[in-house]
Structure 1
Amino acid sequence: MALRYPAHADAVRLYGDGFHRDPRTTYQRLRERYGAVAPVLLDDDVPAWLVLGYRELHFVAGEPNLFSKDSRLWNAWNLVPADWPLRPLVTWRDTLLSADGAEHDRHSAAVDATVSSIDLLELAARCERIADDLIDAFASEGSADLIGQYAARLPLLVGTALLALPPAQAADFTDDMAAVLGRVGDVGAAEERLRSAVRRHTAARRANPGSDPLSTLATHPAALTDDEVFDNLFMLFLLGHAKTAAWIGNALRLMLTDPRFAARLAGGRRSVEHVLDDVLWEDPPNSNALGRWATRTVQLGAQHVRPGDLVVLSVAAANADPVVRPDRAAGPGRNQAHLAFGSGPHRCPYPSQDISLVTTRAALSVLLDRLPDITLAAPASELVWQPAVFVRSLTALPVVFTPIPPPGFLPV
C-alpha cells in the first residue's frame, strides 16, 4: 500500500467470497468501527472511502463542487492495474455520467428528453411480448436458469428493440452489446463495431429523424457529437441493463426463497409490487455507486478526505442506516425513501426509473402468469452472487416447473 494512504493500511476488502456472500455483515462491522464513512479496499487493494450513512450519502451526492464525477481527478491512478475489472466503470467518458456543472446539464437535457420520449404503455406491451418469447424458448423443458435465459436477456432485447434498428442488424447489435456488457470475447472489437453502427444510424436519423429514442438523442438541441451520442447511448445500456437485470433476478429470488412472498406466488401480479419495493430496500441492484472524487480537502463523517480521493456511495448500507431504519426487522412497508435510484444531480432520471420499473414488472408478471408452479431447483444457500461490488446480482437462478408443450404440439 502506498505510504500516502496510511488510513487504508488495515482497511476492509470489498471483494472476496466472504464479502460477496454476506455484504450486510461487512457494512454493519464497518459502521460499528468507523461510523458513517469507512476506509476500504476495492479489487487489487485499490483504496477508497465507503459512505455508509444515509445523510452522508445525500450530502456527497448533492455537492458536485466538493465531490466530482470526473475520474481524471483521481490521485490513485498509479495503483490501478491495466486489467483492473472496475476500470470500465471509472474511465472518463464524455457523457452524462462523468460530467458536472453546465456540461452535465447539456448531456442531461438530451438524455432526459430521450428517455422521456418512450411511451410507457407501448413499452409495457413490448416487454410482455419479449418476455413471452423468452419463456417460449424454455417452457417445454420444465427447467431453466432465470438469470442467463431470462433476467439478463430481457432488458438487452428491450433496449435494442427501442432503437428501431433494421431487423437484419438488430441481432448483431444485441450480440455485440451482450459481449461488451458481459466482458466476453474480444470486447474491444465488439465495442468498435457498436460505435461504427451507431455512427451510421445517427447520421441516418439526423437526416431523416423518426420517433425512436436514437432520433431524439441525435437531433436534440444540445447538439451532441457522434461520439457523445454513442457514449451516452452506451451508458444507458450499461447502467440500465445491469440494474434492471439485477432487479428482475433479485425479485425472482425473493419470491422463490422468502416465506413472506413464496406463499403468495399464486397471487401473481398482485404480489409483484410488494416484492419490487422490498428489493429496492433490502437488496438494491446498484448496491454501491462508483464513484465521486473529492475536489478539495473535506471532513466526511470522522474521516479526513483529501483532494483526488475516491468516494464510493453504499446504497445498500445507507438503506440500512439506523437513522432511517431504526427497526429494520419491521420491514420498509410502503416507505419510498430508499436510495436505489441515487440522489442529487446524478440520480437516475425519473423517466429511466419508470422504464426500469415497467420492464421489471412485466418480466415478473408474465413469468408468474405463464409458469405459476415455478420452484427453486437448488437450496437457497447454494445460490452464488456475482463477484461484483457495485451490482448485486446472482450468477444463476435454477428453477423447475411443469413443462408447457410448444404451440401446435399434438400429443401422440
Structure 2
Amino acid sequence: MTTPPPAPTGPSSTAAPLGCPAHQGVGAPRPRPLYGREAEAQPYALYEQLRAEHGAVAPVLLYGNVQAWLVLGHRENLEAMRSPRFSSDSRHWRAIQEGSLAPDSPLLPITAWQPLVALTDGAEHARLRQAVTESLARVNRHRMRRYLTRYATRLIEDFASTGQADLVADFARKLPALVVCQVFGIREEDALTVGAAVSDMISGGETAMQSNQLIVEMMSDLVERKRQQPGDDLASWLLVHPSSLTDEEVREHLRLALVASLEPTANLIASALRMVLTDRRFRGHLSGGQMTLPDALEQVLWDHPPLAVVPTRWATGDTELGGARIAAGDMVMLGLAAGNVDPAIRPDADASMHGNRSHLAFGAGSHECPGQDLGRAIAETGINLVLERIPDLRLAVDDYQLQVVGTWMSRRLTSLPVAFAPQRRQEAAPVQPPAHPPVQYAAAPPAPQKRPRFRWFGGR
C-alpha cells in the first residue's frame, strides 16, 4: 500500500473543502478519500455510499487531500463528457493555477497539461484528434493479426508444456505490450519494459514519476529514430501527418496512447479470462454456443471497465451537475465503473448486459477512445488462442482466493493461476514484419466526419 504524499501547502489548502458547508450546505457529509486501503479494496461499496450520501455527483479527496468531484450517475457522466461546461484542458484546474500540487504528486503524470488530444478542446483538439484517428486507421489489420498470432503463440508455448501458468503475469500483461509496441514502432526488446513502466505510472505509487520519465525518454528516442528512419508504424505516421505535429506532440501522443492501450487491455484480458473460467453463465453459454466471446467481453466492460475513473475534466465556470454545485476550476472525474452500475439504468447490477453496448468503458463525445477497436481485437484474439490451444484450462485455486488490487484509476487482477494437461510444444515459424519504404502520407484516407469504425478481424 502506497503512502499518499503530504497535503499541499499552497493557497487552495486552506479553502473550504468540496462538500463542506461552504459548498453543500450546513451538515452535509464530508468528502471521502478515493484512495486508501478500504476505498481501493471495495470501490463499488464506496460508490454506493457516496451515491447514498450525495446522489449522482459526490465530493472526494485524492492523494495529498486534493479535492475533486466524482461523477457516479450514468446520465451525468455522459453530460460531463459531452458538455462544453467541462473542459479537458487541465489549465482550468484551480490547483494548477495556484500551484498547490506537490511537485511529486502522483496526479501530475496524468493531469499536467501537455499538447495532447486528451487535454485540449475546440480546434486544437480537432487537429490533434484527426492526426491520431487517421494514423490509427492506417494500421494494417492483416499484419496486426500476424503480430497477435505470433506473440500470443509464443507466450502460450512458454508455459504450455508445464501444465500450469499465471495468465495475468504470463499472458495478459505481456501480450498487449508486445503487440502495441510493434504497431508503434518500438523495438521488441523494449516492449515489456515499456509495459511495466506504464503500469507503474498509473498506479499512483511512489515511483510513478520515475516511470513516467522513463517512458518520456524512450518515446523521445523513438521519435528521433523515426525522423531518421521512418517505417510503417504509428510513430512514423504521426510524424508525417498533414496536421504538422511537433516532435513534442508526437512524443506525448505516443505516451498517451501507451497509457490508454496497455493497462486497459491487460485488465480487459485478465478480467475476461477470469469470467470465462469462473462464471457459470458464460462458461456454459460459451461452450454451448449461445454466447460469443465478444459478448463476454462486453459484459466485462460493464462489470469491470478497464479504467474505473478518468480524471480529465474541469469546470470552466460555476455550474451544476447532478444536483451538485460545482465551482469554476474544480476537477470533475468521470466515474466509469460507478456509472455502469447506476441503479437508474441498471436496477439489477448482476443482470446480464448481453447485446447492450451503452456502457461507459470507452467514454463518449469528442473524447471517446479512438483506439477501442484495437484493444478489443487484442483481447478477443488473444483469449481465443489460449482457449483453442489449451481447451482443458481450469482455475488452479478457488475463485475467492483471487485478489484484485485497486488504484485511484483502475482495478487489476493480481494473478490468475491455472492448471491443465501439459501440452507438447508446437514450434511456430517466425513471422517477420515486411520492410517498407519511407511513409508517404498522400495515400492516407480522407479526414472522416465521424470517428472511423473499422471491424478489425472477427470483431463486432
Question: If the length of structure 1 is used for normalisation, what is the TM-score?
Answer: 0.89
Matched, 1:43 2:63: yes
Matched, 1:18 2:53: no
Does structure 2 retain, via aligned residues, the 8 Å contact 1:285–1:392? yes
Paired position in structure 1 for 2:148: 127
Could you give the per-residue CA deviations for residues 318-346 of structure 1, whole angstroms, max 9, x where no partner exists?
Answer: 11223322344432121111111101111
Give 2:19's aligned amino acid.
Answer: A
Paired position in structure 2 for 1:175: 193
CA distance, structure 1, for counterparts of residue 290 and residue 426 of structure 2: 24
Give identity over the alignment, percent: 36
SS of corresponding position for 1:262 = helix
Does structure 1 retain, via aligned residues, the 8 Å contact 2:82–2:365? yes
Give 2:338's aligned amino acid.
Answer: A
Distance 1:356-1:7 versus aligned 2 partners, 3 A rule: same
Does structure 2 retain, via aligned residues, the 8 Å contact 1:74–1:308? yes
CA distance, structure 2, for counterparts of residue 226 and residue 96 of structure 1: 15
CA distance, structure 1, for counterparts of residue 276 and residue 36 of structure 2: 27
Does structure 1 retain, via aligned residues, the 8 Å contact 2:55–2:322? yes
- What is the aligned counterpart of 1:231 among 252, 256, 260? 252
Does structure 2 retain, via aligned residues, the 8 Å contact 1:243–1:285? yes
Matched, 1:144 2:165: yes
Could you give the per-residue CA deviations for residues 282-304 of structure 1, whole angstroms, max 9, x where no partner exists?
Answer: 11111111121111100111211
Give 1:198's aligned amino acid.
Answer: L
The answer to which structure has the higher helix fraction is: 1
Does structure 1 retain, via aligned residues, the 8 Å contact 2:219–2:254? no
Paired position in structure 2 for 1:91: 112
Does structure 1 retain, via aligned residues, the 8 Å contact 2:198–2:258? no
- What is the aligned counterpart of 2:389 among 332, 352, 370? 370
SS of corresponding position for 1:336 = coil
CA distance, structure 1, for counterparts of residue 269 and residue 53 of structure 2: 34
Distance 1:354-1:368 versus aligned 2 partners, 3 A rule: same
Which deviates more from structure 2 when the two are superposed, residues 219-228 or residues 384-393?
384-393
Distance 1:17-1:192 versus aligned 2 partners, 3 A rule: closer
Could you give the per-residue CA deviations for residues 130-167 of structure 1, whole angstroms, max 9, x where no partner exists?
Answer: 111111112222222211211111111001111345xx
Does structure 2 retain, via aligned residues, the 8 Å contact 1:120–1:355? no
- What is the aligned counterpart of 2:363 among 325, 332, 342? 342
Q: Structure 2 matches for 1:236-385, cutoff 5 A?
A: 236-263=257-284, 266=287, 271-349=292-370, 352-385=371-404
In the TM superposition, what is the alpha-carbon distance from 1:180 to its structure 2 partner?
A: 4.5
Does structure 2 retain, via aligned residues, the 8 Å contact 1:177–1:194? no
Paired position in structure 1 for 2:16: 4
Paired position in structure 1 for 2:131: 110
Could you give the per-residue CA deviations for residues 165-190 of structure 1, whole angstroms, max 9, x where no partner exists?
Answer: 5xxx4313552453344347953663
Give 1:70's aligned amino acid.
Answer: D
Matched, 1:70 2:67: no
- What is the aligned counterpart of 2:235 among 189, 214, 220? 214
Aligned Cα RMSD in Å?
2.4
Q: Between Structure 1 and Structure 2, how many residues are aligned?
A: 399
Distance 1:202-1:82 versus aligned 2 partners, 3 A rule: same
CA distance, structure 1, for counterparts of residue 232 and residue 321 of structure 2: 46
Paired position in structure 2 for 1:32: 52
Does structure 1 retain, via aligned residues, the 8 Å contact 2:119–2:312? no
Give 2:242's aligned amino acid.
Answer: P
Q: Which consecutive residues of structure 1, in runs of 5 or more, have no partner in the other structure?
A: none
Give 2:369's aligned amino acid.
Answer: C
Question: If the length of structure 2 is used for normalisation, what is the TM-score?
Answer: 0.81
Could you give the per-residue CA deviations for residues 72-124 of structure 1, whole angstroms, max 9, x where no partner exists?
Answer: 22223455333333321112221111111111111101000111111223323
Does structure 2 retain, via aligned residues, the 8 Å contact 1:123–1:358? no
In the TM superposition, what is the alpha-carbon distance from 1:361 to its structure 2 partner?
A: 0.2
Distance 1:95-1:21 versus aligned 2 partners, 3 A rule: same
Distance 1:260-1:176 versus aligned 2 partners, 3 A rule: closer
SS of corresponding position for 1:307 = coil
Does structure 2 retain, via aligned residues, the 8 Å contact 1:21–1:384? no
Give 1:5's aligned amino acid.
Answer: P
Distance 1:199-1:36 versus aligned 2 partners, 3 A rule: same
Does structure 1 retain, via aligned residues, the 8 Å contact 2:293–2:380? yes
- What is the aligned counterpart of 2:420 among 394, 401, 408? 401
Give 2:218's aligned amino acid.
Answer: L
Does structure 1 retain, via aligned residues, the 8 Å contact 2:68–2:333? yes
SS of corresponding position for 1:330 = coil
CA distance, structure 2, for counterparts of residue 333 and residue 189 of structure 1: 41
Which deviates more from structure 2 when the two are superposed, residues 271-280 or residues 174-183?
174-183
